[in-house]
Chain A
Amino acid sequence: MSRLLRAVLLVLSAASVAVGLVAAHLLVGRSELSAGEVVEVLTGRSDHGAARVIVLRYRLPRVLLGLGAGALLAMSGVLVQAVVRNPLAEPATTGVGSGAALGVVAATMLGFHATYAAALVGALGAGLLLLLLGRRSPAVAGILLGAVLAAVTALLLVVDSSPTSSVMRWLVGSLNARTAGDWSALWPWLATLPVAAWLLAPWMNAWALGAAQAISLGVPVRTTRVVVLVVAVVAAAVAIAAAGAVAFVGLVAPHVARLLVGSDHRLLVPVSAALGAVLLAGSDLIAFSVGIDLPGARDVAGVPVGAVTALLGAPVLVHLVRKELR
């Protein structure tokens, strides 16, 4: 029970940090808005048109997107790690993230703006390839697949370099210049995918004992693998459509969650999601604050949050690899 209690406390503290992050995001920016003005906008009592646009169209959606995409990436990380049986796996290292990014980049270049559909097609394609190629060693297959898909993306960018700056934000991951429209595309997924992921916890717990043991317990391993991978891929694709292929959130958040609450996926899924949410929105606050005085900070060209998560996540990856090798 102590682990359950700890998980509940962790989710609650993450929630309060999230509230703090929302407040910070609403107050920090180049246009000076006082706390009073922000509260007036949020309670619908403001007649200051510019303040309403800044808060409701830009600042609030941006922080909500960060929280939501972070939660989905972390969750996807937990699911992918269960499928490939490797704690180093995450959307970015299994080809799923590269697939989604490739989908978005290709669609952008062809002039389609159906970002979600493009990310889903790319990620599901990569997930299918992972299932087909990765029977023996899915973790290795994922890394190779990710490299190949990233190379294809790079090739596309060489062939046509015109949309580079808008495309870069999908590749690195950025919440710059996201608006209310992006949030309204994300929230329906956010309302459903975490529940789906949590319902899969018993299967993932059984798999963790090894394939023979899972079969022996009556878990239909083949079908459940596909189901879990599909949920993981959809979550990653949606998060990437919202925030770009942010690396390391899907690695760091589950890793910290595992250290704190152990390996029971019933706790791991919600705790990872909560940590991923504050990790991405927090990193975005750093990215935004660092880049605020740089030219184009309001623009897509500002400091991308993916750069911050990469700096934060790289040491964790090094630590994990060293632990694996020991």
Chain B
Amino acid sequence: MKVPTEPVLRARALGVGYRDRQVIHALDLRIEPGSVTALVGPNGSGKSTLLHALARVLTPTDGVVELDGTPITSQRSVAVARRLALLPQSALAPPGATVTEVVDQGRYPRTGALGMLRRGPDDAVREALGLTGLEDLARTPVAQLSGGQRQRVWIAMALAQQTDLLLLDEPTTYLDVRHQLDLMELVVRLRDEQGKTIVMVLHDLNQAARHADRIVALRDGRILADGPPAEVLTPRVLHEVFDIDALVLTDPVTSRPMFVAR
């Protein structure tokens, strides 16, 4: 397990906005290597926008995102794609494309455009299909899959990129309880076995508390709380971030905090 000394990903005084509206304001964030970080917050709090800026899909209006100590926007796009993979919320399946064909696209940053012209699915693709339990669906058109299966295809594609950093935008949204649990266990396994760094946007706070090492709670584009689940999942933070009156208990299975709305 390699542990870089520099923080792999870092936002400094980051501002992100769209034409008429500033979403993220002067935000500082360090993502520690080999950790699982959950970004939580109400709708419109800027958590997806932050994730997209960290993945350089959105260009900051202020400040900078650094990857391995250099601004991410000054690095070659392919070089960044070898370090960092993004699971977007709204990925599109090309009509008629099979699971393998889509997952195979994850190899682009490694092989380059010319490589993609001649090669077929390799070991990395097969490994990604295996980790997400998609071997049996490998030749099925993505359009025929259920929402949950489709979500696993996008995750497999991100895994096929073989990056140290994985940014996941609401990875559990379309999944049933069983597959949500499978996915969270996969995330923890990738951290433990391959030393990957994972940042994910989650809606389910209990899920975040159960599986993440650290929770970053956003509201109106600012970080209101940041720390281990036990520090963030408190009645005070839940009130400040989500406007809810909550009771925080200890999960009898994991001993992590969990909340119930009053």
Contact = CB atoms under 8 A, between A and B. Distances in A.
B80 interface: yes
B242 interface: no
B91 A217 contact: no
Contacts of B105: 205-206, 209, 213, 217
A217 B108 contact: yes
A220 B96 contact: no
A202 B104 CA distance: 11
Contact of B97 (A198, A199, A262): A262
Interface in A253-298: 258-259, 262-264, 266
Interface string A187-217: 0000000000011011101101110110111
Interface in A129-163: none
Interface in B94-120: 94-98, 101-102, 105-106, 108-109, 113-114, 116-117, 120
Interface residues of B, number: 38
B165 to A, nearest CB: 11
Contacts of B81: 216-218
A87 B27 CA distance: 41
**Chain B CB within 10 A, most for which of A206, A218, A259:** A218
A87 B95 CA distance: 10
A203 B101 CA distance: 14
A262 B88 contact: no
A266 B96 CA distance: 14
B156 to A, nearest CB: 13
B117 A210 contact: no
Nearest to B80: A218
Contacts of A117: none
B161 A262 contact: no
A219 B56 CA distance: 12
Contact of A209 (B80, B94, B98, B116): B94
A212 B81 CA distance: 12
A258 B79 CA distance: 32
Interface string B105-141: 1101100011011001000000000000000000001
B16 interface: no
B77 A215 contact: yes
A218 B117 contact: no
Given A218-B81, A219-B77, A213 B95 contact: no
A263 B77 contact: no
Contact of B91 (A1, A210, A259): A210
Contacts of A201: 116-117
B90 interface: yes
Contact of B57 (A87, A199, A215, A262): A215
A208 B108 contact: no
Contacts of A264: 97, 101
B85 interface: yes
Given A212-B86, A218-B78, A266 B117 contact: yes
B219 interface: no
Contacts of A205: 94, 105, 116
Contact of A258 (B86, B92, B96, B102): B96
Contacts of B57: 212, 215-216
Interface in B137-181: 141, 157, 161
B252 to A, nearest CB: 39
A263 B113 contact: no
Contacts of B117: 198-199, 201-202, 266
Contacts of A198: 117
B78 to A, nearest CB: 4
Contact of A218 (B95, B97, B109): B109
A223 B108 CA distance: 17
B50 to A, nearest CB: 14
**Chain B CB within 10 A, most for which of A87, A215, A259:** A215
Given A210-B88, A212-B86, A215-B57, A262 B96 contact: yes
A263 B95 contact: yes
Contacts of A203: 113
Interface of B: 52, 55-57, 76-82, 84-86, 88, 90-98, 101-102, 105-106, 108-109, 113-114, 116-117, 120, 141, 157, 161
> Which 10 pairs across A and B sit closest by C-beta, in order of nearness?
A218-B81, A218-B78, A202-B116, A208-B94, A216-B86, A263-B94, A262-B96, A202-B113, A210-B92, A218-B109
14 contacts: A199-B117, A202-B108, A202-B117, A206-B105, A209-B105, A210-B92, A212-B52, A212-B88, A213-B105, A216-B86, A218-B82, A258-B96, A262-B141, A264-B97
Interface of A: 1, 87, 198-199, 201-203, 205-206, 208-210, 212-213, 215-220, 258-259, 262-264, 266
Given A209-B91, A210-B88, 5 more contacts: A205-B105, A213-B91, A216-B81, A218-B108, A220-B77
